[in-house]
Structure 1
Amino acid sequence: MAQETPGQAPPAPATPARMLLPSILPALAVGVMASLLLLGVSEAAEALQDVLWGDLPDALGVGRYSVLWMLVMLTATGIAVGLVVWKAPGHAGPDPATIGLDAPVLPLSVLPGLALATALMLAGGPSLGPENPIIAVNVGLAYWLGHRLVPRAPGRLWPMLAEAATIGALFGTPVAAALLLSEALATRETRGALWDNVFAPLVSAAAGAMTVNLVAEPSFDLDLPAFGRPGWVDLLAALVVASAAALLGMAAVHAFPHVHAVFRRLRHPMVALPVGGVVLGLLGALGGHLTLFKGLDEVGELAADPDGWTAGEFATMTVVKLAALVVAASCGFRGGRIFPAVFVGAALGLTAHALVSDVHPAVGVSAGVLGVLLAITRQGWVSLFTAAVLVASPSIIALLCIASLPAWLLVTGRPQMQLRADGTPVR
């Protein structure tokens, strides 16, 4: 038996299995519920997007992604979301610039407005993803149902289950949720072994991931050209691209509170959101239609033809998408920052490949995504996981782990892309 070293804290006692077993059924229920809500909002948004960006411009004889239609649609989206934020109970939740993946428990009356604002945003084209608001909706719903159906369960259980379930559903695997949980638990004072603490959330994440996989069959693999055995050139490329991506992401982080302050001076959502929509329409006209929407499908289009654009075109899309992310997150659109950040990183990596042909597309894309996500999310494990899963090559993981080290030194301890209520950045 191992002896306890004098002065060393005793190991945390393991939780008996009989204490963990009762959490399985609630975790499974939350996992299925959270994934179905995510799928429902996403499907509704996609159906509306098909109408707004396909059927309607075709009927009017206007180009689907003409400058005119992008300006009209982004402005109209700002008006529609502004109406929801203005009139819905609770104003569709707090200022999204102050919310991260760790969502607060919102009153039940706020959740329909938040879900509606999210669906309208996803359909209308602003550069945000569904993760933050959907997590908030699932957290509020799970907390409300859990307290009524299982009143003896600790209140902190339901938000953790809902967050894990939504992350598992978003990525189609519980691994991302497990990594996020382990990172979150490292900053909290917890009791018991790590796997005891993540047991129920991991069940919830697995249920969410399996539900989505059975219904929608999601895939993050970009099907880039095969990457074989890494060499010294690949290592150098990964280090340079990841660091450059982290610096680019930090430029957006530093601009975020200033842009947010400008929109905050407009005060009313029926002013700030339509103005934000106009700016996003102009950015879309500059960067092209691939810089619209959350960015995941658009990343697939870029990756399908890594040599299909010039370095200048890739660079333009990179900068425009990053600017659109900052504007959309600042003016009040309800949405998350992970998926548009993935587009920014992928476009930057393909810029590097277009400039220097020795930079393998898989290395450029994964390292670019890693660096941007580290700056935008400040979630190390999730950034590594997302970057690696886009390429689906085991040999890329070692390169990314090494490349994450200088990139992390560039972002740690610095402002985050999340604000306090007074508008100052979280550190």
Structure 2
Amino acid sequence: MPAPTDPPASSPPPVAAGPADPLAVIRSRGYLRILLLSGLIGIPVSAAAYGFLALVSWLQKFLFTELPGVLGLDGVPVWWPLPLLALSGLLVALSIRYLPGNSGHSPSEGFKAGGFPSPAELPGVALAALATLALGAVLGPEAPLIALGGGLGALALLLLKKDSPPSAVAVVAAAGSFAAVSTLLGSPLLGAFLLMEASGLGGAMLGVGLLPGLLAAGIGSLVFVGLDSWTGLGTFSLAIPDLPAFSTPTLAMFGWALVLGIVCPVLAWGIKAVSLLVRPAVHAHRLIVTPVLGLVVAALAVGFAVITGEDSSQVLFSGQSALPGLISDGAAWPVGALALLVVFKALAYGLSLSAFRGGPVFPVMFLGAALGIAAAQLPGMALVPAIGVGIGAMCVSMLRLPLTSVLLATVLLTSDAAAVMPLVIVAVVVAHVLTARLPEPPGRGLSRKQPAANVASG
């Protein structure tokens, strides 16, 4: 069976080979048509993304809380995640092996934007993501939504106009990705910024390339809000409510920001090493190894629950829905329980990166918040700045997107954002520089030595 190849990277709006005048492009009738199509296509794409997230949320609740009772069990047994994570691994492995395409890119390669799956590859992306997210693997929904949004956007344009040029298809596909993650991170602007920085758009044409996506993201956000008011299922938007007020950083807080800026890259390095060291075994025996890894992830969650008495869901899943509760209640946790949460979640995250399909953003935000809550008990530190610094430093250490990491860590802190931002910037800069200077994780060389067919198969 020939190895699938990665989809072509998406590009900015159609421009000439030489230097282009952004104002001339914006004034053109073709660009106005692209804007209109992006806005229109953003409506069904964002509705599909909302439905996908609603299905994931329903399946998580049913499988992990209601199914044991349906099967006649007395409550939810502590071992319950074990069969579900094994099933998750099997379904993801089968999807990657037998469905067209690669079921999305491997998250162990880092966050990627640009490119979009073909129509034939969309079922594989959706099924692998659903099996990963609903059955408890430690990955987030943002990468699958970006891929699905891009693929659906491109498909919609080609259905409307079969002879659309590749550059126009790429722009509308990018707009579909923007629409799909329009409210996932709490703001359409945050999702747009993440895609912009990850895809490397820049220069004089930056605004030209972003406008269709921003329009689709804004419309997508309205669709999410409207569907929430109609269904009552929620907006699936990350938000951290009821934070204590914070006004002024101190010298001690800057010192602890430097410390977290050093600690987080080391933790991220370890997570990447776990992922990359396991990947050769995944490539060689995917149908066997992936379910086994699912069992190990479940065992970590069960072990955490037995040792600490907390729920195993703190270790499982992306952490998107658990993050607000962790921040509101985590200050009452013993430091030892927080440390175990970081260790067990990090291991489960690294193993999930190696074989499953999903996004890397939410688990690393959860880890950063857990580190921040533990650091809040240090002399001279406070809860809100510690959370912001932890999220920012962990995000940049894993994603290598410094501007996005600053925004992720501050915008979510709502009214405290302005006061926290200087501390976050210090931590993000230190972590970003140290991440660049650390040696490559030991598994990186093994991953690069894989045969081309295995590398292509994720």
Q: TM-score, normalised by structure 1?
A: 0.86
> Deviation of residue 197 (structure 1)?
2.7
Q: Relative to structure 1, is the Cα distance of residues 188 and 39 closer, same or farther in structure 2, using a 3 angstrom cutoff?
A: closer
- AA paired with 1:401? I
Please show how residues 36-185 of structure 1 align to structure 2 within 5 Å.
Answer: 36-59=47-70, 60-64=72-76, 66-90=77-101, 92-93=103-104, 95-98=106-109, 100-150=111-161, 151-153=163-165, 154=167, 155-184=169-198
Q: Relative to structure 1, is the Cα distance of residues 344 and 100 closer, same or farther in structure 2, using a 3 angstrom cutoff?
A: same
Structure 1 unaligned residues grouped into runs of 5+: 1-9
> Deviation of residue 371 (structure 1)?
1.1
Q: Which residue of 2 aligns with 1:296?
A: 320
> Deviation of residue 257 (structure 1)?
1.4
Report the count of equivalent residues.
Answer: 410
> Deviation of residue 122 (structure 1)?
1.5
Please show how residues 23-34 of structure 1 align to structure 2 within 5 Å.
Answer: 23-34=34-45
Q: Relative to structure 1, is the Cα distance of residues 196 and 98 closer, same or farther in structure 2, using a 3 angstrom cutoff?
A: same
> Deviation of residue 168 (structure 1)?
2.3
> Deviation of residue 121 (structure 1)?
1.8
> Deviation of residue 250 (structure 1)?
2.2
**Contact between 1:62 and 1:69, CA under 8 Å: does it hold in 2?**
no
Secondary structure of the 1:342 match is helix
Secondary structure of the 2:376 match is helix
Mapped partners of 1:45, 1:382: distance in 2: 26
Mapped partners of 2:407, 2:359: distance in 1: 18
Mapped partners of 1:421, 1:55: distance in 2: 45
After superposing the two structures, state which structure 1 stretch, 99-108 or 294-303, moved more.
99-108
Mapped partners of 2:195, 2:79: distance in 1: 44
Q: Deviations 1:366-388 (Å, cap 9, x if unpaired)?
A: 11111111111111122111111
Mapped partners of 1:409, 1:423: distance in 2: 32
Q: Deviations 1:345-402 (Å, cap 9, x if unpaired)?
A: 1111111124x15321111111111111111111112211111123221211122122
Q: Deviations 1:252-279 (Å, cap 9, x if unpaired)?
A: 223321121232232x3x2122111111
Mapped partners of 2:437, 2:176: distance in 1: 29
**Contact between 2:392 and 2:409, CA under 8 Å: does it hold in 1?**
yes
Q: Which residue of 1 aligns with 2:16?
A: none
Equivalent in 414, 422, 441 of residue 398 of structure 1 = 422
Q: Which residue of 2 aligns with 1:5?
A: none
CA RMSD of aligned residues (A): 2.9
**Contact between 1:168 and 1:206, CA under 8 Å: does it hold in 2?**
yes
Q: Which residue of 2 aligns with 1:252?
A: 271
**Contact between 1:172 and 1:213, CA under 8 Å: does it hold in 2?**
no
Q: Relative to structure 1, is the Cα distance of residues 401 and 326 closer, same or farther in structure 2, using a 3 angstrom cutoff?
A: same
Mapped partners of 1:33, 1:357: distance in 2: 51
Equivalent in 366, 373, 386 of residue 350 of structure 1 = 373
Q: Deviations 1:9-29 (Å, cap 9, x if unpaired)?
A: x99552354324222221112
Q: Which residue of 2 aligns with 1:236?
A: 255
> Deviation of residue 329 (structure 1)?
1.3
> Deviation of residue 35 (structure 1)?
1.9
Q: Relative to structure 1, is the Cα distance of residues 232 and 411 closer, same or farther in structure 2, using a 3 angstrom cutoff?
A: same
Identity of aligned residues (%): 27
Q: Which residue of 2 aligns with 1:3?
A: none
Structure 2 unaligned residues grouped into runs of 5+: 1-18, 229-233, 306-311
> Deviation of residue 125 (structure 1)?
0.8
**Contact between 1:237 and 1:363, CA under 8 Å: does it hold in 2?**
no
